[in-house]
Structure 1
Amino acid sequence: MKLASWIISAALAVTISFSTATAGQAEGLKVGGKDFTEQYLVAEMTRLLLEKKGYTVEKKDGLGTSIVRAALETGEVDVYWEYTGTSLVTFNKVTDSLTPEETYAKVKELDAAKGLVWLAPSKANNTYALAIRQNNPKTDGITTLSDLAKAYKDGKEVLMGATAEFPKREDGLIGLEKKYDFKAGRANIRPMEIGLVYNALANGDIDVATVGATDGRIAAMKLILLKDDKNFFPNYALVPVVRKSTLDAHPDLEPLLDSLSAKLDDATMQRLNGEVDVEKKPIETVAKAYLDEAGLL
């Protein structure tokens, strides 16, 4: 009887332990992401990596910059990929000119006070850039942002296609106008979704477009990026950022996400973004194929 009781108690303990572990894992992790191709890709790659490790994942992508950051701070999201320049200027209000290494170190330090941990930075730098098309009389001869500023100061009607966020950001048009001493003027700004600026530029509806430097459509459409000759735009290294409480509970997340971060650079992200935006492949297909190719799945 004693032996039977011991066996029953042991079995019950194992069952309770297993149930507790399962319940804990069922709580899962929440992966955030912004509302453009590169972010959809890294959010999906993160989901696939976490699910491979046995996590239950809820993906919350397609969010605006401020919304996903707030979600991370409040715990509505556990992890998402942010850009160092965005945190530096938009969230921490630092406008000093810093090297890429200094930018990463500064946001890592400042965001640690908010319970956020910046993991290893990738080599993908999706900084803002302004692009023009070839053979446009209104922009022919413009090769730098100083040239563009002069055109606006001379009263030329150069139509700029931009996301709704860009004209309102210190690391966007607000700071750009201060640095280069010009005013584009409301009449010359055409707010639109990031995916629409490329067709608008190609069709002649706008003359200059705000783009991300790792966008695959730049090369495909043979666009010209204007040189930031006064080095206004900070470095925008793509980095996984995790809540400290989440990382404390799941320390295996750091080497897992760092393994992906180590693989990403400008050329890789341009290629993957191009597969989605130019070749029209599904996000899920491109993300999984890349992880297989990189030996991460």
Structure 2
Amino acid sequence: MKHPLRILALAAMATFGATSVQSAQIVVGGGDYTEQLLLAEITAQLLKHEGYEVDKRDGMGSLVIRNAQVNGQIDVYWEYTGTSLVTYNKIDTPMSAEDTYKTVKELDAEVGITWLNPSTANNTYALAVRAANEKTDAIDSLSDLADSYNNDGGLVMAVNAEFSGRPDGLPGVEKAYSFKTSRANTRSMDSGLTYQALQNEQVDVALVFSTDGRIQAFDFRLLEDDKAFFPDYATVPVVRTSVLEANPELEAPLNAMSAKLSNTVMQTLNAKIDVDKRSIEEVATEFLTENGLI
């Protein structure tokens, strides 16, 4: 028979242990565009439901978030496998989605970052055209697009500043498909404005992200990347290894959330914000509730 004081001590330890988990603070990071803002909000609400104190810091650029996590200022955020492969680890060798994930998981472990389970959402770069435009109606692939540029088809392309300089962006596309754009036939603008420019017939081709809800809403066609230039950009929760070791309970809810994400899901969620003009907080709560995550 256990002594009453021993029982009280064990109960106190159990209570303290539960409190320590619930009071652990997790810093959730996020980027500066709709999908990243939404993923950060969903994650913050999910972890609060799990009993964590959450400090959400979003609205940052990719490199800023990455450096913040490596330096211990961000604990959790959703990264894209292709971004880590090409931008952070400087690998431009084409590889499968599975190999991309395996490679970044191994390389980022060396800087104290753990990649959890990948979702099936692949937010890769894509180039899109309007459903009805005489200049692009016969263009179905990036090879077709290259032929048009090489034959002076007069196409004007909208891109963002980052895409213009990234090795997995326009310079790489031009090299892979053997064509060249010029200042006269490109327009650089904020990411969100490329969709409006294409819809409003100000340009003929626009940079988009494959999980963006406006693709369906605006009836855009994605051009086939027939040489498989763009790497896979699987959306994955990444956690500082030291934080995960201190809070192993983080893994299960984040993996459960990852399992619910796909291209269709992300397009639908993004459209609710960008097209239907609903709040990020409301859409996040609805997603978590409908999927039984809270």
TM-score when normalising by structure 1: 0.91
- In the alignment, what sits opposite 1:7? none
1:152 and 2:152 matched: no
Change (3 A) 1:32 1:224: same
- In the alignment, what sits opposite 2:100? 103
Match of 1:57 among 43, 54, 57: 54
- In the alignment, what sits opposite 1:259? 256
Whole-Å separation in 1 of the counterparts to 2:52 and 2:255: 17
Does the CA contact (< 8 Å) of 2:27 and 2:54 recur in 1?
A: yes
Whole-Å separation in 2 of the counterparts to 1:17 and 1:271: 43
Instruction: Give the AA of the match of 1:74.
Output: N
Instruction: Give the AA of the match of 1:199.
Output: Q
Instruction: Give the AA of the match of 1:49.
Output: L
Whole-Å separation in 1 of the counterparts to 2:233 and 2:217: 22
Match of 2:167 among 164, 170, 177: 170
TM-score when normalising by structure 2: 0.92
Whole-Å separation in 2 of the counterparts to 1:233 and 1:287: 29
- In the alignment, what sits opposite 2:202? 205
Match of 1:236 among 224, 233, 236: 233
1:275-294 map, 5 Å: 275-294=272-291
Instruction: Give the AA of the match of 1:72.
Output: Q
Unaligned stretches of 5+ in structure 2?
1-7
- In the alignment, what sits opposite 2:89? 92
Instruction: Give the AA of the match of 1:58.
Output: D
Matched positions, count? 289
**Secondary structure class of the residue paired with 2:244:** helix
- In the alignment, what sits opposite 1:246? 243
Q: Following TM superposition, by how much is the alpha carbon of 1:19 offset from its aligned partner in structure 2, in angstroms?
A: 8.6
Whole-Å separation in 1 of the counterparts to 2:24 and 2:154: 54
1:28 and 2:4 matched: no
Q: Following TM superposition, by how much is the alpha carbon of 1:256 offset from its aligned partner in structure 2, in angstroms?
A: 1.3
- In the alignment, what sits opposite 1:138? 135
- Once the two structures are overlaid, the 10-residue window that deviates more, 115-124 or 169-178, is 169-178
Instruction: Give the AA of the match of 1:233.
Output: F
Does the CA contact (< 8 Å) of 2:21 and 2:51 recur in 1?
A: no
> What are the Cα deviations for residues 128-171 of structure 1, in whole angstroms up to 9, with x where unaligned?
11000122233231111011112222233322111221111111
Percentage of pairs with the same residue: 53
Whole-Å separation in 2 of the counterparts to 1:178 and 1:97: 14
- In the alignment, what sits opposite 1:37? 34
**Secondary structure class of the residue paired with 1:165:** helix
Root mean square deviation of aligned Cα = 2.3
Whole-Å separation in 2 of the counterparts to 1:217 and 1:31: 26
Q: Following TM superposition, by how much is the alpha carbon of 1:292 offset from its aligned partner in structure 2, in angstroms?
A: 0.1
- In the alignment, what sits opposite 1:295? 292
Instruction: Give the AA of the match of 2:101.
Output: Y
- In the alignment, what sits opposite 2:4? none
Q: Following TM superposition, by how much is the alpha carbon of 1:197 offset from its aligned partner in structure 2, in angstroms?
A: 1.3
Instruction: Give the AA of the match of 1:243.
Output: R
Instruction: Give the AA of the match of 1:82.
Output: E
Instruction: Give the AA of the match of 2:167.
Output: E
Change (3 A) 1:260 1:27: closer
Q: Following TM superposition, by how much is the alpha carbon of 1:205 offset from its aligned partner in structure 2, in angstroms?
A: 1.2
1:127 and 2:127 matched: no
Whole-Å separation in 2 of the counterparts to 1:90 and 1:217: 26
Whole-Å separation in 2 of the counterparts to 1:55 and 1:285: 20
